[in-house]
Structure 1
Amino acid sequence: MAPSSIQHRHPSNLRTIRTSVSWVFLSLFFLYILYYSTILFEPAPTAGTETTNNTTNSGNHFSTTGNLQSNCTKPESILRFDTEIKHIAFGIAASSRFWRSRKEYLKLWWRRGETRGVVWLDKHVKATENENLPDIHISGDTSKFTYTNPDGYRSAIRISRVVSETLRLGMENVRWFVMGDDDTVFIVENLVRILSKYDHNQFYYIGTTSESHFQNMLFSYGMAFGGGGFAISYPLAVELEKMQDRCLQRYPGYYGSDDRVHACMAELNIPLTKEPGFHQYDVHGNLLGLLSAHPVTPLVSLHHLDVVDPIFPGMPRAQGIQHLLESAKYDSASIIQQSICYEKKREWSILVSWGFAVQIVRGILSPRELEMPTRTFLNWHKRLDYTAYSFNTRPAARNPCQKPFVYYMSSTRYDKERGKIIGIYTLHKERYPFCKWKMESPETIDTIVVLKKEDSLRWSKAPRKDCCRVLPANKKGILYLLVGNCRENEVVEL
């Protein structure tokens, strides 16, 4: 084709091409607007709308509430998983040697027909009919495994296989396996609250470490201590069961069961997800300092109850735990949660551990100091001093005048007229040192009445302590306190 003819036809062809391109882009633009208008103006789902995720287990799903926004904006709702008690299978490691006494702890929290799981023993024991206990199974033979630790016991191998052996029982609709010892007490509702935060279809190994820094150094700060209990999601338990026996052969020199489980988790590349509501309690003595300064998280478990003092003075250990669980029936989410307030006229600092104890201290101590555990207990290794804990502590009293006056929970009931839980706390009678301070002694108070509303949804919100208020009182020897959600702009002021 001649160059002259190209120049002659070029302008009209170019206009035609430009027109076609313009129509294409204009059409695409209108389609774009039409598509996104259907998304932007689509009605938001109502609260409680449930969406189903692709899952590996039948019946497993999670739900959302509200309308989830794009990743560029803040979501209007928090992802919530619907784990219930029926989705949890307990594997309890027990010894025939201690079964007769320790089964009393298990009776306190086990709910026949509601909780599911089994006790794993080393040999058969005499069973009593109609006891509130799970089924008893005998652990499999572990004689083929080598055990070389000179300070430990071969039973550690048997106990480390509790989750795998419970899995092999083939229980249906299990989302979580929870391991504990025969002297571990679980607050079941709070265990459910903790596990509901996590997607059971993922690989989770949940628990916490020891209170003893030295124990964590001996074993690992990344290990869930078994006495406090730990939880393993179903798919992770399946993977553990496949390889655990081979894994155990590689660690004959380890001391216990929990470090063997931790070693296998490391081989599976699974880290510990820490939840401080599980309690190993590697301590001796009085738990008052630890319980009254519980972290702002649900109380999930208590362990080593045969080692520490009874939590309520003068009561047998098991009866004391039962007494605590009576308060938990009214508001399990709030059990042992800490509140701080001041009786300013008398210059008293007041520390409430709901459902357990109230302490009054002469003088004004800051909230930062009051929320720190007092050293009413000793380290697991008794020769070690207070620097050997994995958390901060303070002395029980810096001055003899500041020895706390302790009021232990006597009874708890619900008052329909007031719509509140009423707790009665009575002064623990003991010797208090002479004090020269010119202020009223808390000894003038015999009884403390604590009023509180149930707050079952407290852990669905950002963690925060309840506020405490001193109420007017006309009766001599009685102090009234109100504990509950903090009001707007409410501050614990000195």
Structure 2
Amino acid sequence: MNNNLKDHEHYFHSSWTIAKLTTSFFLLVSICYLFYSLGFITHSYDCPPKKPYPHPTTTHFSITPTTPAPPQETQKPFEKTNISHIVFGIGASSKLWSQRKEYMKLWWRPNETRGNVWLDEEVRSEPGDETLLPTLRISSDVSMFKVKNPRGERLGIRISRIVSETVRLGMENVRWFVMGDDDTFFVTENLVKVLQKYDHNQFYYIGTNSESHLQNIHFSYNMAYGGGGFAISYPLAVALERMQDQCLQRYPALFGSDDRIQACMAELGVPLTRENGFHQFDVYGNVFGLLAAHPTTPLVSMHHLDVVEPIFPNANRVEALQKLIGPMRLDSYGLMQQSICYDKARFWTISVSWGYAVQIFRGIFLARDMEMPARTFLNWIRRADYTGFPFNTRPFSRNVCQKPFVFYLDNAIYDGVADETVSEYILVQPNPDCKWKMPDPTQIRMIRVHKKLDSHLWDKSPRRNCCRFQPTKEEGTMVIEVGECRKDEYAD
């Protein structure tokens, strides 16, 4: 019994001793850690400073193209894309060049824009053309490529290779290659604004589809239509140049240049980034309905100018486009942008397409309907009806009383005192008589629109501008102010 008590006592004292030693050890460690944290204990050596992580924009991946690519650009790290960073590649035909070059003279900016027109053979230049137009070049021979499309020609192959041939020129400080046709009209300021949204160091293929649903089905909804224009970022263009000729041999049954480009983009794994400001205009007739209800996005391009009617009445195609130059230079961001408001006293609906036209409708039309293009045009596929458009449209009313009074742009200036643009629109074509007992818009002879410049219009979330009626003592004149919507303001 005594022995058992001694054993328990010995065991208790041994456990207590171990516990005290353990507690003392952890206490000593805690005190040392505290002193270390307070800086009282230091190492006898210096730690090397940490290397900063590389900034993503300074990382470059080198590839070896089949032909020398342009040197990497050297510019300020955060410099915004501007017109000097864009190189145009324009596909052209020697047979049509003499008339189509007049379109290019309207938008080309000598000593600012860069690019080349690629022709199938030499053309005769007229005096002054060298200073008003891009450099003319002859495309290389494409007779070695197979063509199996029954309607196909090697024209599509030649045009599709413009990207690669432009890359091989070795031009410096290039961020984007923009393709278009010789009958394409570009609004270069808006093109720059659109491309500023994207990182040119990444792979981007930017454009949009056709206005014809059947065309998109036949070719591809994943394809940027070349006439409307599309943009390819520099590194993607270099990658395309490396593989394009081999890629083209795999698609002899394709028809055009843009579907061949898209096929190669599919092999590179690059999808289409859609921007609705590029306009293929795969339509016939009058594109007024499309322009008067332009989507809320910058107007970038218009194609098929030889096919559609002049965008202004009583003018030929070049003269009509020339009328756009004034408002385009004043405020390209606001060009064609729609605003909707209501004159409730006279029961009228007003639609402003800034820089182009103003419409007055008898009656109240909901904004949801007004933002749909009126069908003033026909589908590219003649047998197709309104279901052949890949976007919503509304019928152009046959009721003479619901036919809009259309006031077309007559003049546009900048008022430096008021710091705003002032554009005037006049009624060019009379409307049929209407027997409705309500105020008659024929009493309006001119509409004046005041608009502040907004250089940040497309830096904000997209929204239509609002319009407001302004009092005037001028008989036969309507005055409207267009601008950013105020708090709680909307088209009602």
TM-score scaled by structure 1? 0.89
Deviation at 1:58, TM superposition (A): 3.5
Letter of the structure 1 residue corresponding to residue 85 of structure 2? H
Structure 1 partner of 2:448: 449
Deviation at 1:436, TM superposition (A): 2.2
Instruction: Give yes or no for the alignment of 1:319 onto 2:305.
Output: no
> Partners in 2 of 1:379 and 1:30 — Cα distance?
79
Structure 2 partner of 1:250: 250
Structure 2 partner of 1:212: 212
Structure 2 partner of 1:67: none
Structure 2 partner of 1:435: 434
Higher alpha-carbon deviation: 318-327 or 94-103: 318-327
> Partners in 1 of 2:23 and 2:260 — Cα distance?
78
1:245-284 CA distance string (max 9 Å, x none): 0000000010100000000000000000101011101001
> Partners in 1 of 2:289 and 2:175 — Cα distance?
35
Q: 1:471 to 1:98 in 2, by over 3 A?
A: same
1:348-373 CA distance string (max 9 Å, x none): 10000000000000000011111110
Structure 2 partner of 1:130: 128
Deviation at 1:434, TM superposition (A): 3.3
Letter of the structure 1 residue corresponding to residue 57 of structure 2? N
Q: 1:27 to 1:471 in 2, by over 3 A?
A: farther
Q: 1:244 to 1:435 in 2, by over 3 A?
A: same
Instruction: Give yes or no for the alignment of 1:165 onto 2:165.
Output: yes
Structure 2 partner of 1:59: 74
Structure 2 partner of 1:175: 175
Q: 1:341 to 1:198 in 2, by over 3 A?
A: same
Whether the 8 Å contact between 2:290 and 2:374 is mirrored in structure 1 is yes
Show structure 1 runs of 5+ residues with no match.
Answer: 32-50, 64-80
> Partners in 1 of 2:28 and 2:298 — Cα distance?
67
| 2:106 corresponds to which of 91, 105, 108 | 108
Q: Secondary structure at the match of 1:423?
A: strand
Letter of the structure 1 residue corresponding to residue 433 of structure 2? F
> Partners in 2 of 1:400 and 1:30 — Cα distance?
89
1:56-106 CA distance string (max 9 Å, x none): 43425654xxxxxxxxxxxxxxxxx71010000100000001000000011
> Partners in 2 of 1:399 and 1:182 — Cα distance?
40
Letter of the structure 1 residue corresponding to residue 74 of structure 2? G
Deviation at 1:437, TM superposition (A): 1.3
Structure 2 partner of 1:415: 415
Q: Secondary structure at the match of 1:304?
A: coil
Deviation at 1:128, TM superposition (A): 2.3
> Partners in 1 of 2:242 and 2:34 — Cα distance?
60
> Partners in 1 of 2:73 and 2:288 — Cα distance?
45
Deviation at 1:309, TM superposition (A): 0.4
User: Computing the radius of gyration over CA atoms, which structure comes out larger, 1 or 2?
Assistant: 2
1:139-195 CA distance string (max 9 Å, x none): 011000011111232200000001110010000000000000000111000000000
Whether the 8 Å contact between 1:55 and 1:61 is mirrored in structure 2 is no
> Partners in 2 of 1:171 and 1:301 — Cα distance?
24
Q: How many residues align?
A: 455
Deviation at 1:417, TM superposition (A): 2.1
Whether the 8 Å contact between 1:55 and 1:201 is mirrored in structure 2 is no
Whether the 8 Å contact between 1:53 and 1:61 is mirrored in structure 2 is no
> Partners in 2 of 1:28 and 1:199 — Cα distance?
47
Whether the 8 Å contact between 2:280 and 2:302 is mirrored in structure 1 is yes
Provide the aligned C-alpha RMSD in A.
Answer: 1.9
Instruction: Give yes or no for the alignment of 1:471 onto 2:475.
Output: no
1:183-229 CA distance string (max 9 Å, x none): 01110000000000000000000000011101100011110000000
Structure 2 partner of 1:152: 152
> Partners in 2 of 1:437 and 1:364 — Cα distance?
14
Whether the 8 Å contact between 2:408 and 2:428 is mirrored in structure 1 is yes
Whether the 8 Å contact between 1:164 and 1:240 is mirrored in structure 2 is yes
TM-score scaled by structure 2? 0.89
> Partners in 2 of 1:286 and 1:27 — Cα distance?
84
Map of 1:219-298 to 2, 5 A cutoff?
219-298=219-298
1:272-297 CA distance string (max 9 Å, x none): 01010111010011111000111111
Whether the 8 Å contact between 1:405 and 1:428 is mirrored in structure 2 is no
> Partners in 1 of 2:36 and 2:400 — Cα distance?
82
Structure 1 partner of 2:66: none
Deviation at 1:306, TM superposition (A): 0.6
Deviation at 1:53, TM superposition (A): 2.3
Show structure 2 runs of 5+ residues with no match.
Answer: 1-9, 40-54, 61-71
Structure 2 partner of 1:18: 26
Deviation at 1:488, TM superposition (A): 1.2
Letter of the structure 2 residue corresponding to residue 470 of structure 1? F
Deviation at 1:7, TM superposition (A): 3.2
Q: Secondary structure at the match of 1:327?
A: helix
Letter of the structure 2 residue corresponding to residue 54 of structure 1? T
Q: 1:139 to 1:481 in 2, by over 3 A?
A: same
